Amino acid sequence: MRLIRPNVEALEPYVPGEQPQEAGWIKLNTNENPFIAPAIAEAVAKAASDALRLYPDPLCRDLRRRLAERYHVPPEQIICGNGSDELLTLAVRVAAGEGDRIAFPTPSYSLYETLAQIQNALAVAVPLGPGWELPVEALAAAGARLTFVANPNAPTGTAYPLDQIEMLAQRVDGLLVVDEAYVDFGGETALPLLDRYEHVLVLRTMSKAFGLAGVRLGYGFGSRRVIEALYKVKDSYNVDRLTQVAGLAALDCYELAMANNRAIAARRERVAQVLQERFGWRVWPSRANFLLVDTAPRPAREIYEGLKQRRILVRYFQRPRIEQCLRITIGSESDMAALVEALEGMLR
């Protein structure tokens, strides 16, 4: 009896970062922000009333109006989702069918390939340059119905200038999705391209910049044609009532969140310098809230396991070109001090 599609049975699922089941761990493996504005939690707590028995606004109208004011994009060109991951899924559903090509750089966010495989589309992984440069011509040459670019890229932290993203927009025929999950830590947004290119979709999330990873709120900006298509295939009530309240409260605290993100970026640079000078490691330039660190000559897995024994989690990828690297989230000052102290104890 055939119950499951063959491509799903053969699928290697996306594996999220480890989530410890007890307190006392320092989590530097999933790029969570160490700060959340207290007013956000207060707003959510106040909204946890008997109104929860009612469905949320399926169109997130208040939230979209506020996003429109903040980012200067009409509400009709904005969609909200259950994290930006849901919006990535919707983009695949509207743009690529079985056998169509979906292109993306590699190494990058591995969910792109998983989504292509779920759709039974052809995943075209295009290698980044030796310094993680964006392969504009090779991506365009893939002839894909859908092209993903994370900017800044994960897990490398590389930021690509707007002119490179525009060059790619000029060369691809299908939908170009610019995944800006980390843009608020030093990247350059592609929002200015929306007025010139109907096929560009820019995605954001409140998980990273606003410290709302546990809420799951993403939002996308695109042409009316693309946004209307995404609305056709989304779930009816994909953003719950409390999430919408959290999003509105986060926008009220926008300046506070951005100040915190600037502090994280400054801490990122200090930690990079320490890792380079004290341990002799190569640290790739980053414009995200994490660092990609080459721990040679010590094996990255050995460092990962040693930190885990000390209840500090970082991300280890057993993938080509980054198997000798760790991705380290920039946490609080105390988190990073504990990390350095643990490394000194291991490597002394």
292: domain CATH number?
A: 3.90.1150.10
Whether residues 27 and 60 fall in one domain: no
Q: Are 138 and 267 in contact (CB under 8 A)?
A: no
- Tokens linked to 192: 């200015």
Q: Are residues 242 and 284 in the same domain?
A: no
Q: How far is CA 200 from the centre of its chain?
A: 17
**Mean pLDDT (whole number) for 194-220:** 97
Instruction: Let me know whether 100 and 246 are in one domain.
Output: yes
Residue 41 forms part of a structural domain: no
The CATH number that applies at residue 193 is: 3.40.640.10
Residue-level pLDDT at 17: 86
Express each pLDDT in 289-326 by its tens digit.
999 999 999 999 999 999 999 999 999 999 999 999 99
* Residue 16 domain-assigned (yes or no): no
233-269 per-position pLDDT tens digit: 999 999 999 999 999 999 999 999 999 999 999 999 9
Terminal C-alpha separation, the chain: 59
Last residue of a domain, one of 192, 221, 252: 252
Choose the final residue of a domain: 222, 252, 282.
252
Counting Cα atoms < 13 Å in the Cβ hemisphere of 109 gives 23
For 17-34, what is each residue's pLDDT tens digit?
A: 889 989 999 999 999 999
* Residue finishing a domain among 192, 218, 252: 252
Structural contact between residues 91 and 113, judged by C-beta atoms closer than 8 angstroms: no
pLDDT of residue 348: 78
The per-residue pLDDT for 275 is: 98
Q: Could you tell me if 232 and 294 lie in one domain? A: no
